[in-house]
Amino acid sequence: MKTTVTPQKRDKSLIPLSREHHFGLLFCWKIRQGLKNGTQLRVLRAYVQYFWKNLLQPHCAEEEWLLARLLPQDHEVRLRLEEEHRLLQKLIDLIQEGSPLNRDLFKVLDRDLTDHIRWEERDLFPYLQTLVPAEELELAGKLLAHNHAPREDAFSPDFWNTKTTAA
């Protein structure tokens, strides 16, 4: 007997953040490909810095702003989100500093960011949709949309498509 999993309906106010989660998962895939292809660490470091500055950091700030509007300051879900964002930032800082564990740090960043995005999509957003009144979620979504500019990943070179011989 097969069971089919029906994708959860995402409240339209959360869709911009969900779309950016796709970019985050693609970022992780690109890092994995870069490591597999032997991309120089300085190129991977530059990509991490680019992605953090242009996509991930503003995205995290928007999520924290949203949860600050919707949940009390000491709510465990809000605290978890903020803590995971701080840990991701610390990992990125270590990568930028050129830590000797750099290759492993890229792998940890991939795993932790993927897990974080999956938690948000599978647990956090559905939780918010059941907890927060629809009109409050809609208002927060309108405010978010007002400040939200579509982002794109335009990093070059496209190291994830190129195998190199020197790492």
The pLDDT confidence band at residue 8, using thresholds 50, 70 and 90, is: low
- C-beta atoms surrounding 2 within 10 Å: 3
Please return the burial class of 113, using the count of CB atoms within 10 Å of its CB with bins 0-12, 13-18 and 19+.
buried
pLDDT, greater one: 37 or 143 = 37
pLDDT band for position 4 (50/70/90)? Answer: low
**pTM for this model (two decimals):** 0.88
- Whether the predicted pLDDT of 166 surpasses 80: no
Q: What is the widest separation between alpha-carbon atoms in the chain?
A: 55
- What is the pLDDT, as a whole number, of residue 2? 58
**72-85 pLDDT, tens digit each:** 999 999 999 999 99
Instruction: Tell me the pLDDT of the chain averaged across its residues.
Output: 89
Q: Which of 22-26, 100-104, 128-132, 149-153 has the lowest mean pLDDT?
A: 149-153
Q: Which range has the top average pLDDT, 11-25, 73-87, 140-154?
A: 73-87
Mind listing the domains of the chain with CATH numbers?
Answer: 12-147 (1.20.120.520)
Among 121, 94, 100, 136, residue whose Cα is nearest residue 9: 121
At 167 the pLDDT is: 44
pLDDT of residue 1: 57
Q: Which amino acid makes up residue 139?
A: L
Residue 150 has pLDDT above 80, yes or no: no
Q: What's the rounded mean pLDDT across residues 110-116?
A: 98
Looking at the chain, list the stretches that DSSP marks H as alpha helix, in order from N- to C-terminal side.
Answer: 15-37, 41-51, 57-70, 76-96, 102-119, 125-131, 134-147
Among the listed residues 115, 136, 113, 117, the one whose alpha carbon sits nearest the alpha carbon of residue 125: 117
Q: Please give the residue that has the higher pLDDT: either 102 or 81.
A: 81
Please check whether residue 59 is in contact with residue 24, taking contact to mean a CB–CB distance below 8 angstroms: yes
